[in-house]
């Protein structure tokens, strides 16, 4: 359950997100929040990736990481959603042991009469009741409403309420979006916050109607 740095593959540096100071891998500290900078043997020089990582520990002297999401976030109508907020929503949902949170999708409006909304995608660990699902959705919406810009967008009627979709095929739904955008399944890592930018699947529509 550790994700160590692939020290034999490339040369890495890390930008501390609090101080902007650059560190080599061997000077990282526990719980440091960093952005990786990649230099490869093929000639890619100091490429600053958009990943936000936390130094989760060490395997002997090799740093290990937790992926926290992308640095650019999502902003449908000015709500300023970030991967960190999405992670908090997912942790809140997983207080119910009957489900595992996969990601939070930002779903744009398909027509002028619709409102964009956020959708929490989960997979069930065991049978979960409709009442429990409604409670998960209510808790997640409350978590979002604690964020000023999200609450303002909701108060102005610019965003619809958060929806929850719990499906045995949750990961396949995530991968289908990535494949539609030309990604290879083996290269896909599940991010906590993603823009749903292809056609809305029927399982999402069912969650909207619920």
Which domains are delineated in the chain?
11-70 (no CATH), 83-209 (3.30.300)
Nearest-angstrom CA–CA distance, 136 and 130: 10
CA–CA distance from 178 to each of 13, 62, 121, 136, 170 (Å)?
28, 31, 15, 26, 13
91: DSSP letter: H
Q: Which of 62-76, 80-94, 158-172 has the lowest mean pLDDT?
A: 62-76
Confidence of residue 64 (pLDDT cuts 50, 70, 90): very high
**pLDDT over threshold 80, residue 73:** no
Contact 81, 97 (CB under 8 A): no
Confidence of residue 76 (pLDDT cuts 50, 70, 90): confident
Question: Which pLDDT tens digit goes with each residue over 185-206?
Answer: 777 888 888 888 777 666 665 6
CA–CA distance from 112 to each of 92, 118, 207 (Å)?
32, 17, 20
Instruction: Specify the pLDDT at position 48.
Output: 87
Question: Which pLDDT tens digit goes with each residue over 95-104?
Answer: 999 999 999 9
Instruction: Specify the pLDDT at position 109.
Output: 84
Instruction: Specify the pLDDT at position 201.
Output: 65
Question: Which pLDDT tens digit goes with each residue over 112-164?
Answer: 788 999 999 999 999 999 899 999 999 999 999 999 999 999 999 999 999 99
Average pLDDT, rounded, for the chain: 87
**pLDDT over threshold 70, residue 13:** yes
Instruction: Specify the pLDDT at position 205.
Output: 59
- The token duo for 180 is 């539609």
């Amino acid at each position: 359950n550790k994700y160590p740095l692939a020290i034999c593959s490339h040369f890495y540096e890390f930008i501390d997100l609090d101080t902007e100071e650059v560190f080599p891998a061997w000077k990282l500290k526990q719980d440091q929040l960093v952005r990786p900078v990649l230099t490869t043997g093929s000639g890619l020089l100091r490429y600053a990736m958009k990943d936000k990582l936390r130094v989760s520990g060490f395997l002997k002297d090799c740093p290990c990481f937790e992926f926290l999401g992308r640095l650019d976030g999502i902003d449908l109508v000015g709500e300023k959603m970030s991967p960190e907020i999405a992670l908090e929503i997912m942790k809140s949902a997983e207080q119910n042991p009957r489900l595992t949170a996969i990601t939070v999708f930002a779903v744009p409006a398909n027509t002028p009469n619709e409102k964009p909304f956020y959708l929490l995608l989960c997979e069930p660990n065991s049978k979960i009741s409709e009442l429990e699902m409604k409670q998960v959705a209510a808790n997640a919406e409350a978590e979002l409403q604690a964020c000023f810009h999200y609450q303002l967008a909701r108060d102005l009627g610019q965003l619809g309420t958060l929806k929850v979709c719990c499906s045995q095929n949750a990961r396949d739904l995530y991968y289908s979006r990535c494949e539609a955008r030309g990604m290879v399944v083996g290269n896909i890592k599940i991010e906590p916050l993603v823009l749903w930018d292809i056609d809305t699947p029927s399982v999402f529509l069912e969650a909207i109607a619920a």
